[in-house]
């Protein structure tokens, strides 16, 4: 689902390399953890894979058609993300002005999934993440754990090939974090998506199929 080859990025203002020679792959159904010291470039690597920042060289192939994210223009990257990638963030990033159901439907709209499927998919996922009956609730009335469940449902609703998660349990208490992590891993495996999870947590890393460590010398 994801193949990264010889990816490199420099700091824009000083020209010093942030990372270089990054090679790895994530297969369908595989969950990979990305760990490393603070400031080493994990989030930047994730952004480059997602096409939110432009790598200086290398390639990033995503999805069944294996398009190279690095070579695409901004509009094509957005289209690729809409169809093939789901995101889960540390800060949840649930749109406060839309209901829970509307938040989950947004990726379906962006991926141009026929509107006839919206209600059924949304309802099914709400049940899968334990939020049945929450469809018309506003995000302001939800707890942190519930918000992250909404984010997980949103990340999976359009059946992407790849899930990118940046510290998905970073803002949660240990118990909630454990529940949310289990939920995320179960759902990803259920859909046979690949997942790359950036984390500082040893526990999260241990729950994944494989751990990659980003260092100043590259990926280990």
Partner 1 sequence: MNTLAWWLIRAQFRTRRTATLLSMLAIALGVALGYAIHLINDAALADFGRAMKTVQGDPDAVVGARDSAGGVPVATINAIASDPAVLVVAPVIETRVRVNSVRTPVRLIGLDVFSAAAVMPWLLPRQDDRSTTGGILDGDVYASPSLLAKLGLQAGATVTLARGDREWLTKIAGDLPATGPDDLLLVADIAWVQERFGPNEAVGEGRVRLAPEVDLATWRTALQARLPPGLLVRAAEDDRTRVSNLSRAYRVNLNVLALVALLTGAFLVFATQLTAIAQRSTQFALLGVLGLSPRMRLLQVLLEGLAIGIPGAVVGLGLGYALAFAFTQILGGDLGGGYFSGSTPSIVPQPAPLLGFLALGCVASLAGALYPAYLNRVQPLAQALKTGFAQSRAAFSARSRWLLAALLALAAFVLAQMPPLFELPLAGYAAIALVLMIGVSSAPLFTRALFGWLAKRRLPAAQQIAIQNVAQAPLMAQVAASGLIISFALTASMVIMVASFRVAVDHWLDHVLPAPLYLRGKATPLPQELLDALAGTQTPFARIERSAQETLVIDPQRPSVALLVRELERDNPAARLPFTGPVVAPPADMPVVWISEPMHEIYRIAPGQTLRLPLRGHDVEVFVGGVWRDYSRQFGAVAIGRDDFVRLGGRFAPSELALWPLPGQERLASDWLAPWTDRYGLELADSLEIRQLSLSIFDKSFAVTYALEAAAMLIGLFGLAVTLAASVWLRARELATLGALGFDRRMLGRAVMVEGALIALVGLLIGLACGVAIGGILTHVINPQAFHWRMALTIPWPAVIAGALLTLAAAIVASRYAARQATRLPVARVLASAD
Binding site for partner 1 (CB under 8 A): 43, 47, 50, 52-53, 74-75, 78-83, 85, 87, 89-93, 95-98, 102, 106-107, 109-111, 115, 154, 171
Please say which residue, 174 or 210, places its beta carbon nearer to partner 1: 174
User: How many angstroms separate the CA atoms of 159 and 103, rounded?
Assistant: 15
Identity of the residue, 83 or 187, whose beta carbon is nearer to partner 1 in the bound complex: 83
The backbone torsions φ and ψ at residue 219, rounded to the nearest 5 degrees and listed phi first, read -105, 130
CB of 24 to partner 1, least distance (A): 21
CA distances from 103 to 43, 75, 186 (A): 24, 22, 21
Closer to partner 1 by Cβ: residue 95 or 216: 95
CB of 75 to partner 1, least distance (A): 5
Structure tokens at 90: 């540390």
Q: How far is the CB of 81 from partner 1 (least distance, A)?
A: 5
Nearer to partner 1, 92 or 134 (CB): 92
Please say whether the beta carbons of 198 and 42 come within 8 A.
Answer: yes
Least separation, in Å, of the C-beta of 198 and partner 1? 13
Within 10 angstroms of residue 40's Cβ, the number of other Cβ atoms is 16
């Amino acid at each position: 689902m994801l193949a990264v080859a010889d990816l490199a990025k420099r700091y824009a203002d000083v020209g010093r390399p942030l990372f270089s020679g990054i090679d790895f792959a994530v297969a369908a159904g595989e969950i990979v953890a990305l760990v490393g010291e603070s400031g080493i470039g994990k989030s930047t690597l994730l952004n480059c894979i997602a096409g939110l920042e432009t790598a200086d060289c290398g390639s990033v192939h995503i999805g069944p058609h294996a398009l190279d994210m690095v070579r695409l223009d901004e509009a094509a990257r957005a289209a690729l993300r809409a169809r093939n990638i789901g995101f889960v963030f540390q800060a949840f990033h649930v749109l406060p002005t839309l209901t829970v159901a509307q938040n989950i439907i947004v990726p379906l709209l962006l991926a141009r999934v026929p509107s006839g499927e919206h209600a059924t998919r949304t309802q099914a996922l709400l049940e899968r993440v334990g939020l049945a009956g929450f469809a018309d609730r506003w995000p302001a009335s939800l707890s942190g754990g519930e918000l992250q469940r909404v984010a997980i449902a949103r990340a999976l609703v359009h059946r992407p090939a790849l899930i990118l998660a940046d510290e998905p349990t970073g803002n949660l208490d240990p118990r909630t974090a454990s529940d949310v992590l289990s939920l995320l891993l179960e759902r990803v495996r259920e859909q046979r998506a690949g997942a790359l999870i950036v984390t500082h947590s040893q526990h999260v890393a241990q729950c994944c199929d494989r751990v990659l460590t980003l260092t100043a010398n590259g990926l280990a």
